[in-house]
Structure formats: C-alpha cells, structure tokens
Chain A
Amino acid sequence: MLDFLNNIIVASVIKSAIVIFALLTAFAYMTLIERVIVARIQGRLGPNRAGPFGVFQPVADALKMAFKEQIVPSQAKKLIYLVAPVISVVVALCAFAVVPIGNNWSGDPSKPSVWDPFIGDINVGLLWILAISSLAVYGIVLGGWASGNRYSLLGALRSAAQMVSYETSLGLALSGVLMWAGTLSMVGIVHAQMAGSAQGPGVWFILAQPLGFFIYIIAGVAEVNRAPFDLPEAEQELTAGYLTEYSGLRWSLYQMAEYINMITVSAVASTLFLGGWSFFGLERIPLLSILFFLIKVAIFLFMFIWLRATLPRIRYDRLMRLGWQVLLPLAVLNVVITAVIVTVMAQFQLPLWQGVLANGLIGLAVVLLVLFMMRRKSYVEQTRFVENAAQGPVVMPASVRLAKFERIAPPAETAQEQKAVQA
C-alpha cells in the first residue's frame, strides 16, 4: 500500500520538505546561537530570558516580526518589490538540493536507494551550486532597485559588485577540487575523499588544496555579505543599504536568505574540503555520517560568527582590490599548480599520495608567501605602525604629520584703524 513512497519523485518531494523545514529551523536557531556566541566573546550573556538559555528567543522574534507593520513605500515598483525577497530565499534554499548530508542508508556507496539523505545526485552538482549562487545576486539587485530609494540602489549595486567579484575566485578555487575528484557530482566528490576510494586520493581535499581552501573561505565570506565584508548591509554607511525599505516579514526573508547562504557555503566547504559526511571509516553507520556532516558544518558556522565578532569592516575599495588583485590571481595560480600536478601524476603514473603531498606543500608555501608579501607591502607603504615600548620615544611613520597650532597676533594696521575709527 505504501509502495508509492518508493517512487523517486515522491521521495524527493518529501525529502525536500524535510530539508526546507530543517533549514528554516536552523536559520531561526542560528540567530540565537550567533547572538549568544558574539555576546560571550564580548564578555556578556546572550539572550537568556525567553526560555531556558533563551531557547524561545527565535519564536519571540518571529512573532514580533509577524506583527510588525509592513510598509510598502509609495515609490516602490510594487511587483518586483514584493517578489525580490522571495527570489533570494528560494535561490538560497535551492542550493541545498545537491548537498549530500549523509551516507546511503545501506551503508554502502554502491547500493543507492531513493531515500538516501540527499535530495538529488545530479552529475553536475557543483555547477548547480555555482549557478544558483550567481542567481542570488538578482534578489539583492532587484530588491534594491525596486525600493525606489537611491540609497537602497547604491547598496544593492555595491553588494552585487562585491558578490560578482568574489564569485570568479570562488569558482576557480573549487575547480582545483574538481581536478582532483574528477567529477562535478557532490556525492562523487565525497566518495573521492573516503579512504580506499577508487576514483580519488582518499584523503580530505584540504590537505591537497590548502590554497584553494583559503581562497574559498575568503570568497565564501564575501559572497554571503558577512563580516568583515558586510558593507552592503552596514547600518552606518548606507542606512542598511538594500534592506532599508523592507520591514517586518519581508526583511526577515532577506535575513533568512543570508543565513541560509551562510549554511550553504559552510556545507559546500565541508563537503569539498573536509570530506563531507566521511570520517576515517566511521561513516558506514548512516546516522553517524549525518552527525559528522552536521559537526563539520557547525565548525564552519562557528568560524563565520567568530570572524564577525573579531574583525572590523573592510572599506569598499580595499574589498574590491582584494577580490580582483589578490584572490583572482591566487585562484588562477592554484588552478595552474593543480593542473600541472594532476597531469604529471597521470602521465607518469605516480602514486596519489605523492601528488597530494606536493600539491599541499606548494599550496601552503604560496599561502605563506602571500601573507608575507602583504606584510612587507604594508611596511614599504608605511601603513603599518607597531608601537614597541622598548624602543624609546615613539617614531611616527612618514605618512603622519603632526599639526602645530600657533597663535595669530592681530596685524598692527587693523589695530590702528580701529583706534582711528573710535577717535
């Protein structure tokens, strides 16, 4: 009687519903977790009044949002204004269609079933994610333009430029992984990182691609418009940018899209670089594999929150310079190095571990070299100023000029004129 559940379409629909529900709950509790972690880093308690440990705080926030007045500005282009946040959320949710959350229920990669914990194993999974995150720009640009407010438009344009600049580096960083895994399918990439796998090196790709990981994390933070790259939603600069004219539930749709994008970037990073749901052989138990995946995603989410609590916002021109002049050349360099190593390995039939070692060491060397070069550049430009009490009186860098104030004596002629007038 329940045979219809074995139908792949029914299974996919039900799995999608479960994943969407889980993502929305995760978004709600991410707001609470973020507030608690940022508060603890800042030496205070987070929300703890709404329930034990603040557990009902997201419920309270959702109720408040629902009751808030949703003002539609009179100069807004109505239809697009209403649809833009929906586009953002739908696009953010769609990216999860290809992320593999756990091992097959049979515990064996070669025995799939329709109820395996991923919604779809398309053979261009990675390309799907890149394409969907490019669509995310639409939600922001349309929302900013349709608000009818020039500050919203400026904020939206800035955000779009930022996202587009970092997307190229993101894609190139991921293509290093692609070369090693030999497949775009996300499930295939996870299988390539499992020990003893036939098609891949059997180690997590972070070891083979440290440079790619470094670039992906920075570009991922910039894609999601998250601190320190959150200029588009900076309250101080643009009065919340493209979000200015959105209130109530529409605003929380945009926030939902941002947090779900954050979860997606974390999920993709953990799938591609940390081995997804695999964990040194323990993943044969499917429930444990889901747990490992969730732990890895949670580690990345904690890093996002940690970055937000620590770093100040990057100025927009420095942000663009970082994206085009630093990350893009590095990503291209990564592709070149990886391509050379993979080809040499295939050509000379070298064992995989040698290729992983070579790529990892060269990648680490490039990362350290780049960091040292940036440090040296800041010394050369004299933008770096380190105060060392042991060195005696403080020497200012040459770019700082101390201002001197002098009293200006009134000129003698005007004093005489005033006397003449009074006499």
Chain B
Amino acid sequence: MSFDIIKGMATTLKNMGKKPTTISYPEEERELAPRFRGRHVLHRYDNGLERCVGCYLCAGACPADAIYIEAEENTEEKRVSAGERYAKVFDVNMLRCIFCGYCQAACPTGAITLESNYKLASYYAEDLVYHKEQLLEPEGQATVGSNDVWADPAPEESAQPVPQVNQVFDGSQASAAAVGLGTTHTERPVLFTDEEQDEDRRKLK
C-alpha cells in the first residue's frame, strides 16, 4: 500500500519536470484541423456568380433553426447566382448555430461552408446575427472553402464546368451542378465524356 504511494508520488514529481501541454491562448494559437467548423462563408464561382441558389436546403437541415433565407428570382438584367433564384436575404444567427456543419453537407452547390474563424465573440447580441454581406466572399476571391477536404479533389478531366451567363439550358445535364444551373448553359454538357455511353440515343420514330 505504501510503496504504491511512494511510486505515485514519484510519478507526480516526474511530471513536474515535463513541459506543460497548455497552449497560452492569445500568444499562441492551436493548429486547426482542415475540417474545423468555424464561421460560415458563402462562396462564389470563379466567374463571380454566387453559388447560393436560394433552395432552402441548408435552412431545412439546420437542427438549431439558425438560418433564415428569402429567395428572389434572377432576372435578365440582374443575375446574381447561376440558377433560377438567388438568396436575397441570408441570415445566420450565430447564437443559435451549433456549428454542426449540416448546412454544408446539405448544400447542393457547395455554397455554404464552415471555415476556420472562431473568434466570434461580441458584446451585443444583435451583432451576432450575420447577414449575407458579412458571410459572402468578396468579388475577386472565389474559393471552394473546406469542401475540398471532405472529398478527394476531382480528377483533371472533370473540372467543374463554370456556368456562363446568357446561355440556354437544354436539359441534358445530369449532375448535382444541374440544380444550380437552372436556366444557364455550361461550357461542356457533362462532366465526363465517354463516346460509347453518352451518345444521344433518343430517336424520333
């Protein structure tokens, strides 16, 4: 019994000599994992169009009911996103958000992702309901965000077709990007091209 006490006390004394595992916060910061779920970011395509098509899937998936969306039709003069609608109002209530990432998983266009900003404290509760301008990436800086660490990056041949403006939708798209494409044409009709399988076999008899 007592030699165990001596052994225990020797262990604790040895622990005094080891370096503490504390990370002294403001002076040092922890290295975050690539899939760290911090503040949300609304992404754009490379050509400047917003990815969010106002489909309400993220608001539906959110377990804390933190996302509020009002969608608005894209018109010829004002085309904001690549689909039929865009999100005119996109509010995320950070006080309700539990940072689970379900909105990121639900989004079909990869519009909303959770990035690595965790310094979100504020003195006023009103400041913690983030509006679309605070969440959206600025014009010139379209990124994919943390979506690229959730799956292997697509191979070279399947580069995501960037939807162009003023194109006609012909109904032959068959990928998730079709949800965001809506009335917009893409540069290439499908992601992979396989001559044998993909020939158009519709025949009018």
Cα–Cα distance between A45 and B11 once the two chains are bound (Å)? 18
Residues of A within 8 A of B1 (CB): 371, 374-375, 378, 384
Are A39 and B20 in contact (CB-based, < 8 A)?
Answer: yes
Are B3 and A41 in contact (CB-based, < 8 A)?
Answer: no
Are A306 and B13 in contact (CB-based, < 8 A)?
Answer: yes
Are B22 and A310 in contact (CB-based, < 8 A)?
Answer: no
Chain A, 318-372, CB within 8 A of any chain B CB: 371
Chain A at the B interface: SS class: helix
- Name B12's contact: one of A44, A45, A309, A375 (CB within 8 Å): A309
Residues of A within 8 A of B2 (CB): 371, 374-375
Are A311 and B16 in contact (CB-based, < 8 A)?
Answer: no
| A41-B15, A42-B15 given; A311·B5 CB < 8 A | yes
Cα–Cα distance between A48 and B8 once the two chains are bound (Å)? 27
Residues of B within 8 A of A384 (CB): 1
User: Is A313 at the interface (CB under 8 A from chain B)?
Assistant: no
Chain A, 42-74, CB within 8 A of any chain B CB: 42-45, 48
- How big is the A interface, by class? 10 to 19
In the assembled complex, the CB of A298 is this many whole angstroms from the nearest CB of chain B, namely: 15
Chain B at the A interface: SS class: helix
Residues of B within 8 A of A150 (CB): none
Are A306 and B22 in contact (CB-based, < 8 A)?
Answer: no
Are B24 and A45 in contact (CB-based, < 8 A)?
Answer: yes
User: Is A240 at the interface (CB under 8 A from chain B)?
Assistant: no
Cα–Cα distance between A41 and B24 once the two chains are bound (Å)? 17
Residues of A within 8 A of B13 (CB): 41, 306
User: Is B100 at the interface (CB under 8 A from chain A)?
Assistant: no
- How big is the B interface, by class? 10 to 19
User: Is A94 at the interface (CB under 8 A from chain B)?
Assistant: no
Cα–Cα distance between A310 and B15 once the two chains are bound (Å)? 11
User: Is A37 at the interface (CB under 8 A from chain B)?
Assistant: yes
Residues of B within 8 A of A375 (CB): 1-3
Cα–Cα distance between A39 and B15 once the two chains are bound (Å)? 10
Are B15 and A311 in contact (CB-based, < 8 A)?
Answer: no
B1: nearest residue on chain A (CB-CB)?
A: A374
- Name A44's contact: one of B5, B9, B11, B21 (CB within 8 Å): B21
A42: nearest residue on chain B (CB-CB)?
A: B15
Binary per-residue interface labels of chain A (159-200) against chain B in the complex, 1 for a CB within 8 Å, 0 otherwise: 000000000000000000000000000000000000000000
User: Is B18 at the interface (CB under 8 A from chain A)?
Assistant: yes
Cα–Cα distance between A114 and B24 once the two chains are bound (Å)? 51
Binary per-residue interface labels of chain B (18-33) against chain A in the complex, 1 for a CB within 8 Å, 0 otherwise: 1011101000000000
Cα–Cα distance between A126 and B180 once the two chains are bound (Å)? 89
Cα–Cα distance between A37 and B11 once the two chains are bound (Å)? 14
Cα–Cα distance between A252 and B2 once the two chains are bound (Å)? 34
Residues of B within 8 A of A310 (CB): 5, 8-9, 11-12
Instruction: Report 19 cross-chain contacts, Cβ distance below 8 Å, ordered by A residue.
Output: A40-B20, A41-B12, A41-B13, A43-B15, A43-B18, A43-B20, A43-B21, A45-B22, A48-B24, A306-B13, A307-B9, A309-B12, A310-B8, A310-B9, A310-B11, A310-B12, A371-B3, A374-B2, A375-B3
Chain A contact residues, CB within 8 Å of chain B: 37, 39-45, 48, 306-307, 309-311, 371, 374-375, 378, 384
Given A44-B22, A374-B1, 5 other A-B contacts at CB below 8 A?
A40-B15, A40-B16, A40-B20, A311-B5, A371-B1
Cβ-closest 4 pairs across A and B: A371-B2, A310-B12, A45-B22, A41-B12
